[in-house]
Amino acid sequence: MSSGNSWLARQRKSDLVELAHAVGIKDYESMRKTDLELAIDEHLGDHAARYQLDPRFQDYFKSRARAGGSPVKKEILGGTDLKVSRRRAPKPVDEIVAAEDEEESPAPLPTQAVEAVEAASTALARTPSRALELASRIQLPATPADVAQAVDRGTVAVRERVASLYQDSGITEATQTTREWLSTVHSVVSAIALFELYKLRQEVLPDRYAFTIPAVGLLHTPDYPVHLPDMFALVTAAFWGPALTWAVTSVVLPGLGGYFFNLGAAHQGSGGGGRRGQREEYAVDPLMFSIVKALVTYVVYAQGVTFGGLVNPDSVARINSALYSGWRGCWSARRCRA
């Protein structure tokens, strides 16, 4: 003799005893396992509305719904009456269940209607279209080929983005413009003059302590003393003597010599029409500028010529000590340019 519910049939007798005690079946201690299955099945079927939300009986009602099958759906939709056949429990169990129904559930729902609704919902959920819809939503894992293609697409996108940012930044145009501006004789002459002026500034306008940047414990940095040029030296003769001497010997006299002895202008004036434009014309000839500056540097800083006392020897000595390699460095640079 077997139970009408497969889930109850799979339970042990001790589990069935606990279920019988939980639902309130009396005299269950003397019942056999099959009698307990039938009694519990009968009681749960008659009180489905009460126990169908209880977590302990979820598997029981699912088993009943699966046992109903798709014919339940057709019968409900067609409006026909459902007939559920089930085994009857022994007489003592029927009397106990009837007495409990009268006391606790004065108006229970019909068992056939509950089973029909549950079976219909289960049948609707198990239709093929529903299964296909759920399968289409499942994301399958990517294959190695898909991963490689995604990485390639990401690499190409990053490379194109970097190239676009580089072009939009204008670095290429700025580099070409800087190169064209520095690739001239005037740029070379100006760079040498600025280097001499930087070294001379340290001599005639020395740095003095101004303040200290305190240490930052978070960055682990020590105290940093800040030195700034001593601007008060601008009102002293110690500044203007060397500064004016360098300006006259390195800028004024070479500039006058390059302006008046302008070989480019002479070439443009005397050359024929076929040779015009072969050499760029400068307002100050850089070649003559370098030659005159080299001669003046050698005469003043090496030979000590003062031009009748116009040049102060102390200023010359300070300039020689400030410039890199003294007058030899300046003279060598002028010779190389010439």
What's the confidence (pLDDT) of residue 222? 92
In a domain, 156, yes or no: no
Mean pLDDT for all residues in the chain? 74
Residue 254 and residue 312 in one domain:
yes
Question: Count of domains in the chain?
Answer: 2
Whether 259 is covered by a domain: the verdict is: yes
Do 114 and 204 reside in the same domain of the chain? no
Q: What is the pLDDT of residues 182-214, one digit of tens each?
A: 888 778 888 888 888 888 888 888 889 989 999
**pLDDT tier, 252 (very low <50, low <70, confident <90, very high otherwise):** very high
Determine the pLDDT at residue 250: 87
Domain final residue pick, 106, 137, 168: 137
pLDDT tens digits for range 82-141: 444 454 444 554 554 455 444 444 444 455 555 555 555 554 445 555 555 655 566 666
The verdict on residue 107 lying in a domain is yes
Q: What pLDDT does 44 receive?
A: 82
When pLDDT is cut at 50, 70 and 90, the band that residue 180 belongs to is: confident
pLDDT score recorded for residue 240: 92
172 part of a folded domain: no
Grade residue 155 by pLDDT with cuts at 50, 70 and 90.
very high
In this structure, are 236 and 324 located in the same domain? yes
Residue 36 lies in a domain: yes
pLDDT tens by residue, 65-88:
887 654 434 344 444 444 444 544
pTM of the predicted model over 0.85? no
154 domain residue, yes or no: no
- 203 and 301 co-located in one domain: yes
Which pLDDT band, with edges at 50, 70 and 90, does 321 fall under? Answer: confident
105 and 186: one domain?
A: no
187 shares a domain with 103: no
Co-location of 221 and 290 in the same domain: yes
Range of the domain at 274: 180-337
Q: pLDDT by residue (tens digit) across 9-20?
A: 888 888 888 888
Is 148 part of a structural domain of the chain?
Answer: no
What is the pLDDT, as a whole number, of residue 170?
83
Q: What is the pLDDT of residue 71?
A: 40
The residue from 77, 104, 137 where one domain ends is: 137
* pLDDT at position 274 over 50: no
- Residues 64 and 123 reside in one and the same domain: yes
pLDDT at 81: 44
- Interhelix angle 237-247/185-204, rounded to 10 degrees, is 160
Read off the pLDDT band of 225 (50, 70, 90).
very high
Residue 27 lies in a domain: yes
Q: Are residues 120 and 193 in the same domain?
A: no
Same domain for 196 and 277? yes
- What is d(CA 257, CA 288) in angstroms, rounded to the nearest whole number? 6
Task: Assess whether 333 and 250 both reside in one domain.
Answer: yes
Query: Which residue's entry shows tokens 């003393």?
Result: 225
Q: Are 94 and 212 members of one domain?
A: no
Look at 54-63, 175-184, 263-272 and tell me which has the smallest mean pLDDT: 263-272
Per residue in 20-44, pLDDT tens?
878 888 777 778 888 888 888 888 8
